[in-house]
Amino acid sequence: MIKKLTWKKVYIGIIAGIISLMIFHIDQLEFISTIYDGVLSYSVSLPMLFLTGVMSFIGGLGREYKVCLAYILTMILYDLITNDMQTILFAGVSFITLTLGALMSIIVSWIQEVT
């Protein structure tokens, strides 16, 4: 039996992508770095990249692909429209960690079946 696509999860992934893009562009404007006396402009983007990777890994472990794939597609579509290569970095990290999480989930379930 084929499961129906739950659009709620897809919308959450799209909204997460839009929020990431908004935070990323606020950080690019160096608005945050002027508050902290010239700290690097990527002071928010790098932790957000790490958080994206962790959340995608957890999504892969939980086999929750709809949210992560919607996020990745949002970042790729934005890059196609604006040619902003930093968003491909976010999509790439999210895809790699989602794949690693899914592989770890398969390995864990295989080990549980064996023991």
- Mean pLDDT within 101-106: 88
**What's the pLDDT band for 1 if we cut at 50, 70, 90?**
very low
Annotate the chain with DSSP letters as a single string: -PPPP-HHHHHHHHHHHHHHHHHHHHHHTTHHHHHTTS--GGGTHHHHHHHHHHHHHHHHHTT-HHHHHHHHHHHHHHHHHH--HHHHHHHHHHHHHHHHHHHHHHHHHHHHHH-
Q: Give per-residue pLDDT as tens, 34-93.
A: 666 655 556 667 777 788 888 888 888 887 788 888 888 888 888 888 877 777 888 888
